[in-house]
Structure 1
Amino acid sequence: MLKVTGYSDDNIEIDGDIRDEFDRYNSDGDYLAFSDGTVLFAKYDDNGIWRFTVIAKGNLYDSKVDGDVMADTADVINFKDGIKWVVCGKDFTK
């Protein structure tokens, strides 16, 4: 299993089968691509919440839990077992 969420104002956290983080301080938004074909757009919004927009769903994508400003929680993306890699960057093309 794999979970993607944000931490503070500068980190995208990857936890589970892969454990890592992407330092994204002062970013205008970034794309995350996963080995199953899932693509997310990640942005720290004006309310102080990490938001993940699903651009494409792969076969291991499981669910999204929306963050809550009042509870000070970030969006959470869940994957089934089997994600082999994830990359983070600025550019995306279809």
Structure 2
Amino acid sequence: MKIQLFAAVVIMVALSSCQTKTKVVEEMSYSERKALAGVITRRCVEQGYTEKSPEFVPCIKAETEGETARRRRARLHSELMAIATQRVTCVKISGVMRCN
């Protein structure tokens, strides 16, 4: 139990720079996905790629994968924070420790 709690705290600290209220892509509406696609396209354009350049599609793919990973890390972080902040009460009954 202590090792699991310690591992959860270590993970939370490592992920503390992530945003916590970010939706994962799978939960986004069509309009939210469309807006995100625009943001990702702008990132690639700001890096100097045009839609006609051969690097444009790989840039879109890399930015999309990165954004998806960031959003999943943020979700994991928020879920771990919810678990870590839960109050646990343990009681010893007939020599057996029971926690809720």
**TM-score, with length taken from structure 1:** 0.20
Q: With a CA cutoff of 8 Å and minimum separation of 6, indicate the structure with the bigger relative contact order.
A: 2
Q: Please identify the structure whose Cα radius of gyration is greater.
A: 2
Greater strand content: 1
